[in-house]
Amino acid sequence: MMNKTFYIETYGCQMNFADSEVVNSILMSQGMLPVQSAEEADVIFVNTCSIRENAESRVWNRLKEFRSLKKSRGDLMVGVLGCMAERVREQIIDKEKLVDIVVGPDAYRDIPNLLAEVEDGRKAVNVLLSLEETYADISPVRTSGNGVTAFVSIMRGCDNMCAFCVVPFTRGRERSRPLESILREIDELNHQDYKEVTLLGQNVNSYKFENIDFTHLMDEASSLYPEMRFRFSSPHPKDFPEPLLHLIAERPNLCSYIHIPAQSGSSSMLERMKRPYTREQYLVLIDKMRAIIPGVSLSTDIIAGFCDETEQEHLDTMSLMHAVEYDLAYMFAYSERERTLAQRKYEDNVPEKVKKRRLTEIIRQQMSIQEKNNKKEIGRRHLVLVEGTSKRSDQQLSGRTDTNKIVVFDREKYLKGDYVEVEITDSTSATLIGTPVEKSSIARFYSVPAYA
């Protein structure tokens, strides 16, 4: 495989993007070279997502495009990685003849062998899930991205079995990565001048390696690297550790932003979803977050139109979102997935039209909440970590606040990777506009009250 070029196209969640960086590392250690487009590559990989029907259809369409590319270039290899691998391997290899290689999320170390099998004229598949694999010893290679912010996987799989969700089936059992391998990766990022790390897992608050829990991990990372910022995604509302809230409140480099997916605002719906908390318990947790971390920014995931959803349950979701006033929300129409509890035991019986209407109502309300929340930011000062040039103008920079809001401001003398104190002057529902005040450090900024 020496000198062959490869291209990885990634769909799905941040975990999948982090996995593609692990695959980069595995391929490059074989002497293969990453390229920036599918057209230039000898091997194209698609790292896939199964979370909703439309995520899968995008991948299928893309694979069909690659099939025509294969027709004009006999030696081109196409591989499917990630969450769709197990479910569709037969379809992919036998019936549709779309791809040569199928590799599940726990089998990436096997890719070099699989490529060799394909060179011998065979179709190669490994979709075995593992109880141990965490790729702990592999240093991910970040070929795309901004060079300032990075994702670090701290665990794999999920044992929660929410009734709607396919992840436990595509990614297997939950397992945590050893603390020292996580800290080693953060140290490498620090040496490469990265400034922000988001620790990733499908349920980060169940991180447990030997006697180290998630709060302990955050404590270690943030005290070892005081000029790096730390975020995490996603925690589960059912067992959110209170000591972590206190730690976030007192550590300037633990970001005051928590993504805390509710899924629904109705207790009866949450029960059907197998989310083991009630609306009331969720709201108590939110109050606790706000009391312990003043100014904390919150975001959520919401599903509209899950099985048997009544109009009242939908209104309960609307009222929960209205009560919490999230700064950001990822909102989806329910999409039935094979093998899940919902697919086996419930009926996907909310008509498509009703799902769409409810989703639209949810999104519309959320946009107006965000607009209102962002207006309140005008006049405040935030510490912004510059991630790069703004999409709209190269005279402007773009970065994020500690509270995860995007801020655009004039470039002046500032550079990518700088922490800049910015005063907010204007806003939309998605972006803040500001004026830079001065370059700063995390510690210095925090001697000034952020919410003055």
**Segment (H or E) for 259:** strand 257-259
**Which residues, 6 or more positions from 277, have their beta carbon under 8 angstroms from its beta carbon?**
237, 238, 270, 285
Q: Cβ of 208: how many Cβ atoms within 10 Å? A: 15
By CB under 6 A, the residues from 172 to 231 that bind ligand SF4 are 202-203
Which residues within the stretch 329-358 sit at the binding site for ligand SAH (CB under 6 A)? 332, 334-335, 337
CA–CA separation, 30 vs 121, rounded Å?
20
Residues 366-425 that bind ligand SAH (CB under 6 A): none
168 binds, among ligand SAH, ligand SF4, ligand F3S, none (CB under 5 to 8 A by kind): ligand SF4
Distance between CA atoms of residues 257 and 198, nearest Å: 11
Residue (119 or 301) nearer to ligand SAH, CB: 301
Q: Toward ligand SAH, which CB reaches closer, 12 or 140?
A: 12
Candidate residues 66, 135, 164, 232; the one interacting with ligand SAH per rule CB under 6 A: 164
Q: Residue 194 carries which side chain, given as an amino acid letter?
A: Y
165 contributes a contact to ligand SAH by CB under 6 A? yes
| C-alpha–C-alpha distance, residues 221 and 150, integer Å | 14
User: Contact between 52 and ligand SAH (CB under 6 A)?
Assistant: yes
- Between CA 189 and CA 204 the distance in angstroms is 20
Write down the least CB distance from residue 161 to ligand SF4, Å. 6
Beta bridge partners of 424: 434
Q: Does 266 bind ligand SAH (CB under 6 A)?
A: no
Name the residues that contact ligand F3S, by CB under 6 A.
Answer: 12-13, 15-16, 49-51, 82-83, 166-167, 170-171
Q: Are strands 406-410 and 431-439 parallel, antiparallel or unpaired?
A: parallel
Give the interface segment with ligand SAH, choosing from 120-128, 159-167, 190-198, 402-410 (CB under 6 A). 159-167
Site string for ligand SAH, 288-327 (x = CB under 6 A): -------------x-x------------------------
The residues in 181-220 that bind ligand SAH, with binding defined as CB under 6 A, are 202-203
Give the separation between CA 239 and CA 213, rounded to whole angstroms. Answer: 12
For residues 47 and 398, which CB has a smaller minimum distance to ligand F3S in the complex?
A: 47
Q: Cis (ω within 30 of 0) for the bond into 427?
A: no
Q: Which residue number is nearest to ligand F3S in terms of Cβ? A: 12
Q: What share of the chain is helix, strand, coil (3-state, %, to 5)?
A: 40, 25, 40
Residue 147: φ, ψ to 5°: 75, 5
* Contact (CB, 8 A) for 155 and 163: no
Binding residues (CB under 6 A) for ligand SF4: these are 158, 160-162, 165, 167-168, 202-203, 236
Binding residues (CB under 6 A) for ligand SAH: these are 13, 51-52, 164-165, 167, 202-203, 234, 236, 261, 263, 301, 303, 332, 334-335, 337
